Every structure is written in C-alpha cells, then in structure tokens.
Structure 1
C-alpha cells in the first residue's frame, strides 16, 4: 500500500526522505532509543493517539539522557509498543511520538516544537492513528475478531429456484463509527494531525483503514473506494493532506467548514487553542496569502463574523439548553469564535454565504498579538474592529 501510494498516485506525496523532527525514536535499535536527528533526511512515521487522561511515558529534562541511551520497554504504554512494532514491520526506521520526542517539562522546548508539529505530520511518510484506543494503555494491534458465519439464508431467483445462499455475519464498525465518530476525533490536536498527513493507517475497533488522497480502503464496507468528491460533505471525512489544495472555492471557504469541526473537539489545556491549530493555520495562510486574526481571515472578515454558538445541555438542569460560556483561559476578541468555550458554526447552507452581499464594510481592524519565539503559545490577544454599514 505504502509503496504503491508513494510511487504511483499522482495526488499523493512521494515517499522521499524528508528532514527528521528534532528528536525521533530509532525503532531498529533493541531496545529502541531516542536520538537527536541533527537534521538528517530519512523516512519516518508519526503516531496520532489519545492520552485519555493517563499520564503517558514521557521525556523530561531529567530523563532525556536515559532515553537517548534506551527506552525501557516494560514502561512503555501499549500504544507506543504497538507503534514501534508496526514501524519495524513496515521497515520505517524512525518514529515520532509527542510525549517522548518533546521534553515535557521544558517550556522552551515545547514552544519550539509546537511550532513545528504541523510540518512534522506533513512531512512524515505515514501517520499511524490509534483510532479506537481510548488511552495510551489500550493499544491498537489486536487480533481481528472472527467473522464466522452466523447462519445462511437460501437465495432464490424470480422462478423461486435456489441459486445460492446468503451468509450472515455480525456487523462490524465501519468508517463513520470508527473514525468520524471515534474517540480520536474528539481531540482538538488530532484534527491537524489527520488533515496534514500525507497518508494514514487508522486502527479501528474491528478493522484498519488505509486513508489517502486517491481514496480509502478497508476490508468489509462497500464504501471503501470513495474518492475525494465523495468525501466533501463534512470535515470528518476529508482525506489526509487535503490542505494541499482547496476542495472547492477559496481556502477561506474551507476554513468556515473547519471551524465547526475544530470547536466541537476537546483540549486538556484550553490555552492550547491556537497551538493545536497552528499547522493548519500556517497551511491556510500559504494558500490564501492572508492574515490570521484570532480564528478569522482578514480577507474574509465580514463573512468570518457570521459565526454562531451552538446551544448545549445544562449539566445541572434536565431538558434545558444554554449557550456556552466565554473562554476564560484564552483572552480573545469577543467578535471571534475563539472567545467562546464551546462549539461554534457557520450556517452555510441557510445563509448561502458564498452569495451573500454585505452592506457593511471594514473601516479598521487591528490586532496586537504576542511576538517572538513564544507567540504561538500565547493565550492573550488584544484587537479592535470598526465596521460601517
């Protein structure tokens, strides 16, 4: 699959060696170990996974030297072990896992590496997605459940003559249940990990899914050969590396679709709101040649202001809905959807935004954003917006 995709698919990136992340795991060593890549050009894989509330095995300042010597196999969570085993089987020597390859107690290292995460997932040969693993201990390389026939039903033609039998088997989780509605798709960080990846192998509850630009494949469902045009309905079904070119219209139009998907996802640290989106922001910026204003693009500002908050059930009262609260962990302008701690959306179909004629005009829009090396992790932004109309 990988070789065919990398060498024969016109829409998919090649499998040429790329610059390695700052640190990677050398899985060909036994036991594996963390190495400083020193700018080497090699093929590598990335793991996309859910921490699930557990504190994963991680690299700290105190453990860095030990991890550069060897990683204690007995202390690695099952997700990490499975990713290493799979990489070895696929003859991919290097593997990037966030909690092991970023020094977790160093703000300086996290600041620097957070800015590169988008490129890490964009440049890897393959992203391994632990789609059904609820936490790092769950693992994803399980024996496939038996597809034994539960029974048979005679099949007859119009003359009622038996011409065969229909075999009945249990229903397996398909693409939507495993991936679109799966546990990994509830996390904010994993959105850019999927959309920026050149190709992904998802490991679901019952089966694996090979997800690429050309199509996607899996053993048991009839929709396994869907193409890009079949997957335009919602962001959850967009193929990997879709940011290579717009699906339809301008990049800003794609962005409106993406906001709904991103804001419904969860973050452990609310201050990661923009860092978890930084790879996609950089890609959109290069496509649109536009300036990013706390979640809205300057060249599409009027349309970008037409966001709405989604009503949510109140936790303390049954059958009662309320709008989400302001995001107190991220000081963002109130005219941006990023100021809300909850799902937001653009009513695209009803408002027909592509055909909207705006009476208002932007008089002035100014943002004062943090600058320097740590700007990407900032949680406070100030800005002003003046409209006329």
Structure 2
C-alpha cells in the first residue's frame, strides 16, 4: 500500500458510507474506513498523506474540544486504519492525520514495525487515539511524532476481540508525543494480560497526563519499563481524563450500571466487573515538569505491587488557570475526581513501592494546595533512599 510523496488520500465526509463497526457487535464506538482481516506481509508507506477528514464528523467547536454528534445505535465516526489478525505488518515513512476516532488500531497482530510515522490529529477531537495495540504481540514502534486529542500510544485488550489473547513483547523508542489525555497509556480496557513492555528514549510535551497505567478490567499488567524520558504535563478541562499527572498507576474496577463507558466492558450478562493486578513496574531516569505529582492508587493493596522509581526528578509549578489539587481516577467504580493536596509522590493503597535517587522541586508559582514531597496512605513496604526536596529553583 504505497502513498507517494505529495499524494493524499482523503476520507469521504458522508457518514452514510461508513457501515462496518470497529468493534463487531458493539456499534457505538465508531466504524472502519481503511481496514482488513487476516492480512500477511503488508507494508504501508510512501511519504504521502492519509487524511481522515476528522473535523467533518464533529459537532460544534468548543474552547477545549469538539462536541460529539448524538447517534442512536451506530456511531459513524470512522477509525482511520484497522487491521485484525495481521502478521508481518510494516507502517513507515508516512503522514497520517485528522482522524475522527482511533487512528491506527492493530488487533491481534503479530510481528509489527511502525517507524518514522508522523501522526497529526486535532487536539480538540475526543477519542482520536494515535496508535492502539489491542491483543497484539512483538511490536516495535520507533522514531514517530504523534499529536492526538486522546492517548498517543495505548496498549489494551478489548473484550470484543478476546480470542486473540495477551498483548506482549512491545517496544517503543525515540518518539515525541503530545496529548490532551495520556501520551503513553496501558489500559483502561484489559481483559487478558499486558506484559513485557519497554518504553525508552521518548519525549512527552505539552500533554495532560504523561505516562499512565490505568487498569480497569480483570486483566493483569506486569513487567513494564519506562526509561530515559522527558515529560511535560499541564492541566486541561474535565472533558479530558487526567489532571496533569506526569506518572500515573491505578487499578480500580470500572463504573457499572448504565454508565456509557461500561456498556460493552463487562463479561457477558454481568453489570459489574473486577480488576486485575499491576506488578513489576519500573520508572528510570524520568525528568518531569508538571502541574501535578506522581500518582499511584488502587482499590486494595495487592492490586498494585512492586513499583520502582529510580532517578525520577519532578519540577512542579502552577502554569495554567485550570483548578488543581485534584487526582483523576476515571473511569472507576469509586469517586472519579478526588480533591487532595498536590504532592511530589502521592501513594494511596499499594504495596512494595520504592523510590531512590529522585527529587522534587517546587516552582515559584506555588498555590496553597501544593503539599509535601511524599504522601502515602495504606502502603505496605514503602522505601525511600536518597530522595531530596527543594523548595524552589
């Protein structure tokens, strides 16, 4: 699939032409524009542009986002590229832009390389994820530049495609990302296991949340490394999940009942789910400039265990007019937005958490809700070694 330099493929703005659901029987989360199933040895490249014409599918433009158009059963907004059950997939040297929903959605794919991709979505379009790896294995993402209203790179295991099993053996390197949600995220949908993942040598700039693990289903998250990163995170409106947390690790059951987010998330016939464990998560050499601190929180201690912070340096300073002193646990069965003092490290219900060779520096714009270097509640086996705090530069 070759899109040559100076060529552009533009999505048809007529909603009626998009009829295939992106999530099988679940028709309320978008359709497919470009897609295929059981593909092998496919390369998408060429130096040209694939344009999803995203704002054509939006409602009124607001200050912080576009309104989403109402729909009855089928949400016609097209996902730009969807590959199901692919093997030996290559996406490289290409610009993909203006998606109305998820941009590159790879489901049950094995042996994937994405390199030198420029992905430019509107920062006002909700659900405009950059790259979503869903039940996929042996994936390498490198040298990409991504701007997206929603998550830039997201690993997950959706229930609609549960037969494809785990998401594992993923590397992401040398990427620069901007997001109004979370630049690098694991979750929230996870019905299996996400494991053996390395994020290295990346830059997150002008984002809401930086690095996030947001487990909300029965699946587990294990053996994940984040290393050698610069993270720049800021507050945005409540439309977007996240409250400028540069690093975020949470494990909660998702909302139940008639909550729109939960409708297709639970096991068949059930109206409430469970949440799996998050363990062996490592953050190393992460330099953060943010309006909030690191947040680790779970519904019980065993749900988050063995989280290591080594050479994590935080510079926390108030830079926007949006209200702070808030942590965001959405989507969850418990209270979503929690008011609390902004701490450098805020730990609420976890076990085996270690911080070493790290620092917290408070900026000159320090509102009353800025708190202390470390705040912890119900944390079993919390250890700190060589952690310093500086009141201001």
Which structure is higher in strand share? 2
TM-score under structure 2 normalisation?
0.28
* Larger RCO (CA under 8 A, 6+ residues apart): 1
TM-score under structure 1 normalisation?
0.28
Structure exhibiting the larger radius of gyration computed from Cα positions = 1
